[in-house]
Amino acid sequence: MSFQPGRMGVAEGMALVFVTTFTSIFLTSWPLAIDSATTATWMLSLINGLIGIGVLYSQAYVLQNTSGDLYAACQELVGVVVTRLIAVYYIGIYLLDACLLLRQFAESTLLTALPELSFEIAVGWYVFLIVLILFIGIEAIARASYLFLPMAVLIVFIVVALLTPQYQFMYLAPWNGPGFPNVVMAGIHSVGLNMGILIPFILARSFQNSRTIKNSVLYGFGLSSFIKSLTLAAYIAAFGTGAAREKVFPFYEMARLVYINRYIQRIESLIIFLWAMMGILNVAIEIYIGLYLLGRLFNLPTLRPLIIPTALILAELAMFPGEIGSVIAFHHKVHWSFYNIGIYIIPGILFAAALLRARRRQSC
């Protein structure tokens, strides 16, 4: 699983960030978020976007004052021992997120499209496709993601537009939900949903330059945040906060609500393929990032022998919980707590160390 340094551009990086921060739209994260921000839940994505842009510029500054990627920057700024601890943390959260997403996408496939299919077979097909994609390499994954990006955006806008007759905009009142300070705090706590913004910095050696990385995150994450905010506002306007809390798959329920005429109905069946492929690409990207950091940690010459064992272990762990409710609740908790360490604390430490190092050089 080798890649040529400097080959990926803005399009590939934008797709990597978009896919890993956007696919939560297809899962059961919105009803849980509505409990904290109610009618102002659509603001959370915008708040996340502003915080993510701050993380973007702080890590771009780190790369400009170091050499290589985020792993090499950690070695220069905080030492080898701390770098290994940081690498272990990121390996853990990316592989954990891949495992939880694999379980949820497999369950969603059974509940929406193939109710008679065995759960083990569904997980097996997902794992087979993920392994196949991983053997192709990260550049191919990024370019495949870029092909699905416009289709995902187009489908979301079509569903939002066709639901216009169903909207009751008073469902969005009160506009500040439980209070603007509470909404801001909820947005700050939920930034862990967007761990994908760090992927171009981790894979910095495979991009052309630092400007490419910056633009990739800015465009990919900006587009993802805007579309999620718009779609979430449409979701609340269509269902209201009371009914919105009860929906298992929010975007699927939005597509089911679309009615064109008596001959064109149930358009949600057309988006399930895109839904599944976005999930497969998201899981494949996160597994690759975990394996890439593992290879950097142990100086491995190749990652190919690790793909199949890692995928099988994650598949077994994904099937271990007895019911999906506990998986969704656990995923929500780690998004709002454990993942924030990788968004706030570690990038903040690296930025402070890079800033201190730059000032020392100026003084000398």
* Cα gap 15→206, rounded to integer Å: 14
Preceding omega of 200 cis (within 30 degrees of 0): no
What residue spans define the domains of the chain?
A: 10-359
* Cα gap 42→232, rounded to integer Å: 5
pLDDT given at position 221: 95
Could you tell me which CATH class the domain 10-359 is placed in?
mainly alpha
Structure tokens at 20: 């890993």
Output the tens digit of pLDDT for each of the chain's 364 residues.
444 455 789 999 999 999 999 998 888 888 888 888 899 999 999 999 999 999 999 999 999 988 888 999 999 999 999 999 999 999 999 999 999 999 999 998 888 888 888 989 999 999 999 999 999 989 889 998 999 899 889 999 999 999 998 999 999 988 888 888 999 999 998 898 899 999 999 999 889 888 999 999 999 999 999 999 999 999 999 999 888 888 888 888 898 888 777 766 677 777 888 888 999 999 999 999 999 999 999 999 889 999 999 999 999 999 988 788 889 889 989 988 899 999 999 999 999 999 999 888 888 7
How many CB atoms within 10 Å of residue 167? 15
* Cα gap 335→118, rounded to integer Å: 29
